[in-house]
Chain A
């Protein structure tokens, strides 16, 4: 009887594991098949080089670059804002703050990641953009600057929390060595702790980039829906994710070429996040070896 119970539990666990693998494989398969049928109609060279993306117009262009530039621009702004802020927070919490303060503030910071992204999106559109417009006169109501900044706020805890974990995991003996040599707190932080935790910090940044590239709601609401090959942060753009939302919610006919564009866009996005996750996995593996 007991043996059967064990067997049922074991099979149950195996089944749960298999489901997640099956879902992943299924997603990749659907993406690939639909994207393949898209690329049988549109040349991959046009896809990668055409500067315009107008699949819903009569004069159709399928250049992913203008969507990609929107994604990269908003992500770049988010990262440029979140890395210095997140890293400062992590260094402060790990090397300066009293333990009790750290214990209270860290979970509070992590709440930032728990705010629904649709709230962030409206925050960007209704609060941050009007605020920025007071000193950037040419700023459109939809722009990548405010979407990027708010996305930066959202990903701060990814960087601060994971980097703080990495700094905290540095053996205390190194801290003692640094202080024992006469380092100031600042020298200890930047010359010893940050280099020693560098792989963990890099992983946190890559995961944050990956999160920013995949983020949908904030950019769909606040950055606009106009595909445009530009690096000007004050004008409306459209990201890959926002485009997918736009088409999925619209009345485009299934199995049409227009509909298949979302799979081509999706697989581009997938390639990016997959690469980033692979890099971070590699770095993490190397990092573990170093301390064993």
Chain B
């Protein structure tokens, strides 16, 4: 029995060599073409960093994976995005369920104006889970994963807005982890934080990749080189280069990539 289970795990990981796949994706906002045909595969349990100058389309591209662009006026998309080999823009896809599987952490910490407990329990509660002990356990384990438990365990009923910026961002990550997604998208999660809080979040991201597939947009190139396994360089709506982080930062293939990472533009 045990052996069989192990085999099936190996089998499925071979089958799913890629967690996320984009095939010839184009995006328009009205008449403006924000993404000009990008194909890429993202591996499971790795940290993949998107870098590039402002307006290069990396955030737009990231938001395709949980369909957060759906509410943007004038948004139009072409091509396919697959998660675990399933087209997430299919008509029978439930967007709410998709977003439970694909969590997101935003640029500015955005906790709800509710208590710390309510923030972390929110995702479970909207799924209709009410069991108090279960909620308490899940809140505790989520807060422990982001190393916030020790700091807040005595005042879980305090308003989340009273926490510091770094704590708020870790709370937002805990809130995302509580619903047990398999993918976490991070849109410049440390750009509004001080260096110490940033270091804590980076360490956290590094630990989280054992259990989650993480895609992170960052403007900070040191950050990309510190925490990511693979790096994609975007420029003007195109994917210029995508490779192992080490390779991108030491020996990039393209001149544009080299110019960007050495700070010659962007």
CB within 8 Å of B: which residues of A?
99, 171, 173-174, 176-184, 187, 191-192, 195-196, 290
Question: Which of B104, B122, B175, B176: most chain A Cβ within 10 A?
Answer: B122
CA distance A196 to B100 in the complex (A): 22
The 6 closest A-B pairs by CB, nearest first: A173-B110, A182-B99, A180-B104, A182-B100, A177-B110, A182-B96
Chain B residues near A174 (CB-CB < 8 A): 110, 112-113
- Among B98, B99, B112, B172, chain A packs the most CB atoms within 10 A around the CB of B112
Interface residues on B, range: 20 to 34
A178 to B122, CA, bound (A): 9
- Determine if B99 and A179 form an interchain contact, defined as CB atoms under 8 angstroms apart: yes
Residues of A within 8 A of B179 (CB): 181-182
B68 touches A191 (CB 8 A): no
Q: When the two chains form their complex, are residues A173 and B112 in contact, meaning their CB atoms are under 8 A apart?
A: no
Contacts of A182 in B (CB 8 A): 96-100, 123, 126-127, 179
Contact B123 A179 (CB under 8 A): no
Q: Chain B interface (Cβ within 8 Å of chain A)? A: 66, 68, 71, 73, 96-100, 103-104, 106, 108, 110-114, 122-123, 125-127, 161, 172, 175-176, 179
Contacts of A99 in B (CB 8 A): 73
- A sample of 10 cross-chain residue pairs with beta-carbon separation below 8 angstroms, ordered by A number, consists of A99-B73, A176-B106, A182-B96, A182-B123, A183-B126, A187-B126, A191-B125, A195-B113, A196-B113, A290-B113
Number of A-B contacts (CB under 8 A): 62
Measured CB to CB, the nearest residue on chain B to A184 is B96
Interface centre among A176, A178, A184, A191, by most chain B C-beta atoms within 10 angstroms, is A176
Query: Chain B: which residue is nearest A181 at the CB level?
Result: B123
Q: Is the CB of B106 within 8 A of A177?
A: yes
CA distance A183 to B110 in the complex (A): 15
Q: Tell me, in angstroms, the Cα distance from A154 to B103 when the chains sit together.
A: 45
Residues of B near A176 (CB, < 8 A) are: 68, 104, 106, 110
C-alpha spacing A171/B108, complex, angstroms: 11
* Apart from A176-B106, A182-B127, A184-B96: 15 A-B pairs, beta carbons within 8 A: A173-B108, A173-B110, A174-B110, A176-B110, A179-B99, A181-B100, A181-B176, A182-B98, A182-B99, A182-B100, A182-B123, A183-B126, A187-B126, A290-B113, A290-B161
Chain B residues contacting A187 (CB-CB under 8 Å) are 126
Rounded to whole angstroms, the CA-CA distance of A40 and B103 in the bound complex is: 71
Among residues of B, the one whose C-beta sits closest to the C-beta of A98 is B73
Among candidates A173, A184, A195, A290, residue contacting B106 with C-beta atoms closer than 8 Å = A173
- Decide if A183 touches B104 in the complex (CB within 8 Å): no
- Residues B100 and A192 in contact, CB atoms below 8 Å apart: no
Nearest-Cβ distance from residue A186 to partner chain B, whole angstroms: 10
Nearest CB of chain B from residue A132's CB, rounded to whole Å? 41
CB-based contact A179/B71 at 8 Å = yes
Name the A residues within 8 Å of B175 (CB-CB).
Answer: 177, 181
| CB-based nearest A residue for B73 | A99
Name which residue of chain A comes closest to B114, CB basis: A195
Shortest CB distance A292–B (Å): 11
Centre residue among B96, B98, B100, B175 by max chain A CB count within 10 A? B96
> What's the Cα separation between A191 and B66 when bound, in Å?
21
In the complex, chain B residues whose CB is within 8 Å of the CB of A179: 68, 71, 99
Write out the residue numbers on chain B whose beta carbons fall within 8 Å of the beta carbon of A180.
66, 68, 99, 103-104, 106, 176
Complex CA gap A180/B98 in Å reads: 10
For residue B97, which residues in chain A have a CB less than 8 angstroms away from its CB?
A: 182
With A99-B73, A182-B96, A182-B179 in contact, do A177 and B126 touch (Cβ < 8 Å)? no
Chain B residue, CB-CB nearest to A99: B73
From A181, A183, A196, name the one whose CB has the most chain B CB atoms within 10 angstroms: A181
Asked whether A183 and B108 contact (CB < 8 A) given A191-B122, A196-B113, the answer is no
Q: Cα distance A176–B112 when bound, in Å?
A: 11
Residue of B nearest to A173 (CB): B110
* Bound-state Cα–Cα, A171 to B111, Å: 11
Is A177 within 8 A of B113, CB to CB? Answer: no
Q: Which B residue's beta carbon lies closest to that of A186?
A: B126
Most interface-central of B104, B110, B123 (chain A CB within 10 A): B110
Min CB distance, B63 to chain A, in Å?
A: 9
Cα separation A176 to B161 with both chains bound (whole Å) = 17
CA distance A176 to B114 in the complex (A): 16
CB distance from A53 to the nearest CB of B (A): 47
